[in-house]
Amino acid sequence: MAGARTDGRVERGNQTRRLVLARTMDIASVEGLEGLSIGRLATELGLSKSGVFALFGSKEELQLATIRAARAVFADRVARPPASEPPGPGRVWRLCTAYLEYSRDRVFTGGCFFVTVAAEFGARSGPVRDAVAAARGEWGDHVTGVIEEARLGGGLRTDTDARQLAFELMALLEMANAESTLYGDEQGYELAAAGIRARLRAAASNPAALADVVG
């Protein structure tokens, strides 16, 4: 019986933690990680301040837990879905469209969580800044790796600089996100998609074959 009670408390604690992190990710996507406070969350979610504090212990740990949770959401919505595509330009395209869908669908109210917090913490130092930088670096490495797979597989020209192309595609994606959040329209997504198509066609070893993939 004691084990059952303990398991029940643990599960309730996990449920509360998930509830809190769902809210903190949304707040941070709009206001940044400095917009988070244990008191605010307790009030908004109808929880005790001591209970929220017990789950995280400090504002910094709350911020770090929020970054970890957002990384998991980003992986599920953007990084993982293209894995079903065979390596090549089609997977690169699918990765880019997954990001555009993630931003357009407002998985987070403020658009891309990591664009917001990177701007907030880019010039700072400390564990939170390091966690943001690590997440951004992981995304950049992932895009670069998908492009390099396409190059090695023959879908992109052998002289393709994967890191350079990744930088350009990521810039288009983030500009689309910024245009949408600032102006409230979706034209930026179409402009970004057109730019990505153009870059992939320019880098493709067989541009004609690529037309079936990117339209």
Place of tokens 């869908």: 101
Buried b (16+ CB within 10 A) or exposed e, 147-177: bbbbbeeebbeeebebeebbeebbebbbebb
Domain count, the chain: 1
- The first and second tokens of residue 47, run together, are 């929880």
pLDDT tens-place string over residues 55-67: 998 999 999 999 9
CATH number at residue 30: 1.10.357.10
Q: What is the extent of the structural domain holding 85?
A: 2-214
| Global pTM value | 0.91
Residue pLDDT, tens place only, 97-118: 999 999 999 999 999 999 999 9
Among 48, 47, 82, CA closest to 169: 82
